[in-house]
Amino acid sequence: MTTNEYEEDETIKKPKYFCPEPETLIFCSPPVDHSFKKLSDLASYTGSSKKPRVCRLGRLPDRSSNNRFISRSLWLNNNRLKNLTDLYPFVEKFFDQPEALGWLDLSFNEFCDVSPEILKFPNLRILYLHGNKIKALTPLATLRDVPTLRYLTLRGNPVEKILAYRLLVIALLPQLISLDYALITDYERGTRIPECAGKKIIDQYRPQAKHKKSF
């Protein structure tokens, strides 16, 4: 059924947030917004009664019968976080379905690496890490184990100063379709990475070819 047919059929009860394309379903409910709260850790905040911000979005997401939010997006940007210890308990406290988290905004914090805690969210598609303190490519290898990840931001981290940074990240995380708000092209995927640009770092994460026995 097309969008127009959906709108014209009065027998269908329209949801408050109608998203006709499957790719945009992640945005159908407002994010749970804990941005700009000067958070330095999530453990102490998890047990508190503090509520998500409303001013940026105008409303909170709907709640389920267990009084948790029905949302797939979490904003933790513009805080003072240095690690993601207790991220899952934090999400579990506020979200009806923690494992369904699809968009995580961690931009403008103080992260130096990518915590394995990210791996507890098997449906993560969008991850914002711009404006942090990630200096090397190696910490990003953790994200290879998030096969659903499609959109990643890293600009504003020291790592972007590495020669051929964009090509290296694309090679390291082949599941991405967008990096730093720019779609990844076939040309970029096929471009050879110079030896001087850290190609050895990428090669160590690629499957090793099996050598044929010689007779």
Q: What residue spans define the domains of the chain?
A: 23-203
Instruction: List pLDDT tens digits, range 72-111.
Output: 999 999 999 999 999 999 999 999 999 999 999 999 999 9
Interval 57-86 mean pLDDT: 92
Residue-level pLDDT at 185: 98
Length of the chain: 215
Q: Which stretches of 47-198 are DSSP H helices?
A: 87-94, 165-172, 186-190
Rounded to whole angstroms, the Cα distance separating 110 from 82 reads 5
Q: Look at residue 1 and tell me whether its pLDDT is greater than 50.
A: no
Q: Look at residue 28 and tell me whether its pLDDT is greater than 80.
A: no
Mention every residue, 6+ apart, whose C-beta is less than 8 A from residue 152: 126, 127, 128, 129, 143, 169, 173, 176, 178, 179, 180
Tell me which of 6-10, 137-141, 185-189 is least confident.
Answer: 6-10
- What is the CATH code of the structural domain delimited by 23-203? 3.80.10.10
Residue-level pLDDT at 44: 82
Rounded to whole angstroms, the Cα distance separating 214 from 44 reads 61
Instruction: List pLDDT tens digits, range 132-176.
Output: 999 999 999 999 999 999 999 999 999 999 999 999 999 999 999
**pTM higher than 0.75 for the full model?**
yes
Residue-level pLDDT at 209: 42
